[in-house]
């Protein structure tokens, strides 16, 4: 949807540029009396362009929001991969009690890191994640 809006923005920008080109080559419309129909078109395009600038800003904010969330999820995935590696190593039954204790401490540290990422993750003071019924939920809010 964001890309459709962006494409519409680009098409309307092209049309506005064409109108500006006509104006810069001598077709001047400064008031409705010059050419009422074209003046109305120019006014409508100016309003659309102004609206599309706001849409472009909103799309940019949305993309930043998603990039921030994606980066945090990638960090979490990397930590989960490390936990998996540690669990596999511990299941080999070649480690003594001290080594298994060290592995468990590292796993606990990894879990704490994930918890810290998820509880402190925000964008513009909007929390990105929350836990509901023991599940991690990605929050999408209008900003």
- What's phi and psi for 127, nearest 5 deg? -65, 135
Residue 79's SS3 state is helix
At 1 the pLDDT is 63
Q: Which residue has the higher pLDDT, 36 or 50?
A: 50
What is the arithmetic mean of pLDDT over 45-68? 85
pLDDT band of 105, cuts 50, 70, 90 = very high
Helices (H), the chain: 2-24, 36-90, 97-120
At 66 the pLDDT is 86
pTM of the model: 0.60
- What's phi and psi for 139, nearest 5 deg? -95, 130
Q: Mean pLDDT for the chain?
A: 80
Residue found under tokens 């592995």: 103
Task: Look up residue 115 and give its two tokens.
Answer: 């918890």
At 4 the pLDDT is 77
pLDDT band of 46, cuts 50, 70, 90 = confident
Residue 118 has pLDDT above 80, yes or no: yes
């Amino acid at each position: 949807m964001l890309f459709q809006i962006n494409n519409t923005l680009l098409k309307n920008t092209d049309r506005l540029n064409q109108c500006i080109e006509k104006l810069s080559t001598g077709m001047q419309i400064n008031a409705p009396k010059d050419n009422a129909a074209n003046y109305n078109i120019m006014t409508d395009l100016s309003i659309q362009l102004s609206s599309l600038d706001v849409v472009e800003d909103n799309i940019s904010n949305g993309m930043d929001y998603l990039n921030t969330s994606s980066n945090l999820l990638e960090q979490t995935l990397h930590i989960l991969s490390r936990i998996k590696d540690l669990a596999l190593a511990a299941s080999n039954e070649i480690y003594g009690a001290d080594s298994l204790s060290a592995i468990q401490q590292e796993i606990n540290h990894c879990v704490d890191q994930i918890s810290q990422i998820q509880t402190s993750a925000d964008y513009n003071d909007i929390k990105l994640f929350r836990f509901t019924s023991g599940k991690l939920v990605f929050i999408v809010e209008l900003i």
